[in-house]
């Protein structure tokens, strides 16, 4: 029985300290996953609370076949997708892309690019954004995404295609060295 297994057993028995330890070990990763899938930090924080309650409730079913982190990650993704499905948030209003180009006082172009990608991802429809995050960020296959989201693999592929096409358009201004006069429709592909 490994160190982690002992900790988990104590947590299952309701030991507050053990629960606290598990949480502090794994929450940075789990909370980051939730933030990436959700996009909105406030909503992500709410969902994270619910996810942790679920993880602790499900502890007695943890059999140790996979790493605890992997097991918790699965629950987090499932619960987050359920919550998103429930709230099916209205996609953030298409703020003017031009505003982004003002924030060039960043330490580096890289920070700008990262901020723009994050920002662009937030403008995708919730469905397309979730598929993009799961596939391109989390590394899920289309088959896994289809299973998790209750859609077909074809549906997942077409959402990803839409997401990438839209990101390409939204990011064209960054890639073209912030030239305001290019038609984003015909900008060179980013990926």
Domain residue ranges of the chain, discontinuous segments joined by +: 3-87, 97-186
pTM beyond 0.75: no
Domain range 3-87, CATH class? mainly alpha
pLDDT-based confidence at residue 40 (cuts at 50, 70, 90): confident
For residues 114-139, average pLDDT: 78
54 pLDDT exceeds 80? yes
Task: Measure the CA–CA gap between 148 and 143, rounded to whole angstroms.
Answer: 9
Same fold, 3-87 and 97-186: no
- Planar angle of CA 61, 63, 67, nearest 5 degrees: 115
Provide the pLDDT for residue 179.
Answer: 46
Task: Measure the CA–CA gap between 5 and 20, rounded to whole angstroms.
Answer: 15
Beta-carbon contacts of residue 169 (< 8 Å; ≥ 6 apart)? 184, 185, 187
Where is average pLDDT lowest: 82-91, 93-102, 122-131, 157-166? 93-102
- Planar angle of CA 78, 81, 84, nearest 5 degrees: 150
Provide the pLDDT for residue 109.
Answer: 56
93 pLDDT exceeds 70? no
Domain spanning 97-186, CATH architecture: Orthogonal Bundle (1.10)
Task: Measure the CA–CA gap between 107 and 91, rounded to whole angstroms.
Answer: 29
Task: Measure the CA–CA gap between 84 and 95, rounded to whole angstroms.
Answer: 22
Percent of the chain residues past pLDDT 90, beyond the cut: 9
């Amino acid at each position: 029985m490994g160190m982690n297994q002992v900790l988990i057993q104590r947590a299952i028995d309701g030991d507050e300290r053990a629960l606290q330890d598990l949480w502090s070990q794994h929450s940075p990763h789990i909370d980051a996953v939730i933030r990436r899938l959700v996009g909105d930090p406030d909503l992500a924080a709410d969902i994270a609370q619910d996810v942790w309650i679920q993880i602790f409730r499900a502890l007695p079913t943890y059999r140790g076949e996979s790493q605890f982190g992997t097991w918790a990650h699965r629950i987090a993704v499932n619960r987050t997708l359920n919550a998103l499905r429930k709230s099916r948030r209205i996609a953030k209003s298409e703020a003017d892309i031009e505003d982004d180009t003002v924030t060039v006082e960043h330490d580096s172009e890289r920070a700008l690019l990262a901020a723009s990608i994050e920002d662009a991802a937030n403008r995708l429809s919730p469905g397309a954004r979730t598929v993009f995050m799961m596939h391109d960020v989390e590394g899920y296959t289309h088959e896994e995404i289809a299973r998790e989201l209750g859609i077909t693999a074809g549906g997942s592929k077409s959402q990803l295609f839409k997401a990438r096409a839209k990101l390409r358009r939204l990011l064209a201004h960054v890639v073209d060295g912030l030239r305001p006069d290019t038609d984003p429709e015909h900008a060179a592909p980013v990926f």
